């Protein structure tokens, strides 16, 4: 007679798996990838491929030779980190800078904490901020859209947010607005910006796909976008000359990318819906504060990293609603 297999219940398993989730997110990023290649051409292709390849390679090397564990570089998470990192870089930065960013993202942002599931901060953002602080000039010069064959030699300019920040020093919002792309262009993505963050349309399509496939829930993205909308709305209503309108804020910078893909990273975001809302509101507020009152034109990357740090605290105090209220049994 055959030897039976014995294990504790349950004896049925859903078809969900880590690679399935990771590749689901990658699929949802394809529209944004398509748009950025369309606008930024070969530069985007080079940056994206180098970023992905480096992330996978560094994860493999670190796991095999430094941590001495079984390498899991092919489970999709390194690929995703590479793709997201490429999305928040200007498409004209040299490949060796991309590799440094990938090393920071995977090595510092993920592996030092113990690998998948153990990191506190979003690895792609860690890589991005590392590059931003190390190479501020290269990281703040974005190529104009349409230069398909140019890479590091592309003509560059400032993002709409950058224009707004600098302009506000001695002009009013009304005077600056004609200089920035129209709302339609902002929505479609025809603007200066990091590779993947420009097209709000493509990113929103991706978000709908993620929610449909139940990979993320609406709580984080909608709360962040809602908070930013309301906060900037209040400021704009108070003084339309000093503060740009909420729609401008929603469509520019890395907010869409951050709200939909960076802040929703499983490992670094809270576990409960209530916790996610607190997290989203916090990120929204800090983003606007940095954008409007802070030194940098864009604050979403720092806001997300700050609230990644708060996530363990949120998880500790915000518990899911338990079934049945407490009954003291004497």
Partner 1 sequence: MSLKTFSRGGVHPPEHKLSSGAAIEVLDLPEVVIIPVSQHLGAPAKVLVNRGDQVKVGQLIAQSVGFVSTNIHSSVSGKVLKVDKFPDSSGYRRMAVQIQVEGDQWEEFIDRSDDLVRNTVLTGEDIRKKILEAGIVGLGGATFPSHVKLMVPKGKKAEFLVVNGVECEPYLTADEALMTSKSEEVISGIQVLMKGLGVEKAILGIENNKPGAIEKMKKAAEGSHIVVQGLKVKYPQGGEKQLVQALLKREVPSGGLPIDVGVVVFNVGTAMAAYEAVMRNKPLVERVVTVTGKSLAKPSNFKVRIGTPVSYLVEKAGGLSDQVAKVINGGPMMGKALSSLDVPVVKGSSGILLIDTEEAKRKEVLPCIRCSKCLTVCPMGLEPYLLMTLAEKGLYERMENEKVMDCIECGSCSYTCPSSRPLLDYIRLGKAEVGKIMRARKAV
Partner 2 sequence: MSQIILFTIITLVAIGATAAIILYFVAQKFKVFEDPRIDQVEEALPAANCGGCGFPGCHNFAETLVKTESWDDLFCPVGGNETMAKVASVLGREAIEQAPRVAVVRCNGGPEFRPRTNVYNGTPNCAVIHSLYTGEGGCPHGCLGEGDCVAACNFDAIHMDAVTELPVVIDDKCTACGACVEACPRDIIELRKKNKKDRKIFVSCINEEKGGVAKKHCSVACIGCAKCFKVCPHEAITMENNLAFIDSDKCKLCRKCVVVCPTNAILELNFPPRKPAKEEAVEAEIK
Q: How far is the CB of 1 from partner 2 (least distance, A)?
A: 10
- Type and span of the H or E element at 38: helix 30-61
> Any idea which residue has 């990191």 for tokens?
119
**Count of CA atoms in the C-beta half-sphere (13 A) of 278:** 18
Our finding on whether 3 is near partner 2 (CB under 8 A) is yes
- Interhelix angle 77-87/30-61, rounded to 10 degrees, is 120
Is the separation of the CB atoms in 215 and 21 below 8 Å?
yes
Q: How far apart are CA 130 and CA 1, in angstroms?
A: 61
- Sole window of 13-21, 172-180, 229-237, 249-257 interacting with partner 1 (rule: CB under 8 A): 13-21
CB-CB neighbours of 280 under 10 Å: 26
> Any idea which residue has 């690929």 for tokens?
79
Our finding on whether 6 is near partner 2 (CB under 8 A) is yes
Nearer to partner 1, 149 or 329 (CB): 329
Nearer to partner 2, 3 or 316 (CB): 3
Dihedrals φ, ψ of 126, to 5°? -60, -45
Extract the tokens encoding 317. Answer: 């105090």
Nearer to partner 2, 9 or 15 (CB): 9
- 137: partner contacted, choices partner 1, partner 2, none (Cβ within 5-8 A by kind): none
Nearer to partner 2, 11 or 68 (CB): 11
Nearer to partner 1, 54 or 119 (CB): 119
Q: How far apart are CA 195 and CA 176, in angstroms?
A: 24
For residues 147-164, one letter each, b for 16 or more C-beta atoms within 10 angstroms of the residue's C-beta and e for the rest, the string is beebbeebeeebbbbbbb
> Any idea which residue has 């113990």 for tokens?
114
**Residues 268-287 as x/- pattern, contact with partner 1 by CB under 8 A:** -x-xx---------------
Prior bond of 10 cis (ω within 30°): yes
Our finding on whether 4 is near partner 1 (CB under 8 A) is yes
Our finding on whether 16 is near partner 1 (CB under 8 A) is yes
Extract the tokens encoding 193. Answer: 């910006």
Under rule CB under 8 A, which residues in 74-103 are in contact with partner 1? 75
Q: How far is the CB of 148 from partner 1 (least distance, A)?
A: 37
Our finding on whether 118 is near partner 1 (CB under 8 A) is yes
Our finding on whether 7 is near partner 2 (CB under 8 A) is yes
Dihedral sign computed on CA atoms, order 219, 224, 230, 233: negative
Q: How far apart are CA 44 and CA 149, in angstroms?
A: 10
Q: How far is the CB of 27 from partner 1 (least distance, A)?
A: 16
Q: How far is the CB of 10 from partner 1 (least distance, A)?
A: 3
Nearer to partner 2, 10 or 324 (CB): 10
Our finding on whether 4 is near partner 2 (CB under 8 A) is yes
Q: How far apart are CA 48 and CA 95, in angstroms?
A: 10
Question: Site size for partner 1, by CB under 8 A?
Answer: 39
- Sole window of 3-11, 25-33, 97-105, 183-191 interacting with partner 2 (rule: CB under 8 A): 3-11
For binding to partner 2 (CB under 8 A), which residues are involved? 3-8
For binding to partner 1 (CB under 8 A), which residues are involved? 1-2, 4-14, 16-18, 20-21, 72, 75, 115-118, 266-267, 269, 271-272, 319-327, 329
């Amino acid at each position: 007679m055959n030897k039976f297999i014995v294990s504790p219940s349950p004896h049925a398993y859903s078809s969900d798996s880590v690679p399935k989730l990771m590749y689901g997110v990658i699929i949802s990023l394809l529209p944004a990838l398509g748009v950025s290649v369309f606008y930024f051409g070969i530069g985007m292709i080079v940056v994206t491929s180098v970023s992905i390849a480096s992330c996978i390679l560094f994860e493999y090397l670190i796991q095999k030779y430094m941590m001495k564990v079984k390498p899991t570089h092919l489970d999709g998470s390194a690929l995703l980190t590479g793709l997201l990192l490429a999305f928040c870089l200007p498409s004209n930065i040299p490949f060796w800078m991309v590799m440094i960013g990938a090393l920071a993202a995977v090595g510092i942002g993920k592996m030092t904490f113990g690998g998948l599931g153990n990191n506190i901060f979003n690895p792609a953002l860690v890589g991005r901020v590392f590059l931003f602080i190390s190479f501020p000039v290269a990281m703040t010069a974005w190529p104009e859209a349409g230069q398909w064959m140019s890479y590091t030699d592309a003509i560059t300019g400032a993002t709409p947010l950058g224009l707004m920040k600098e302009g506000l020093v001695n002009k009013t919002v009304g005077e600056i607005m004609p200089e920035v792309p129209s709302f339609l262009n902002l929505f479609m993505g025809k603007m200066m910006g990091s590779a993947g963050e420009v097209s709000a349309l493509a990113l929103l399509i991706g978000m709908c796909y993620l929610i449909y496939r139940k990979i993320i829930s609406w709580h984080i993205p909608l709360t962040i976008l809602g908070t930013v909308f309301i906060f900037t709305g209040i400021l704009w209503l108070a003084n339309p000359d000093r503060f740009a309108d909420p729609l401008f804020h929603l469509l520019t910078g890395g907010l869409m990318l951050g709200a939909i893909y960076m802040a929703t990273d499983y490992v670094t975001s809270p576990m409960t819906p209530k916790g996610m809302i607190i997290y989203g509101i916090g990120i929204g507020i800090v983003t606007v504060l940095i954008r409007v009152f802070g030194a940098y034109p864009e604050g979403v990357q720092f806001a997300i990293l700050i609230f990644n740090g708060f996530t363990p605290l949120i998880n500790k105090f915000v518990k899911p609603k338990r079934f049945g209220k407490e009954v003291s049994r004497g």
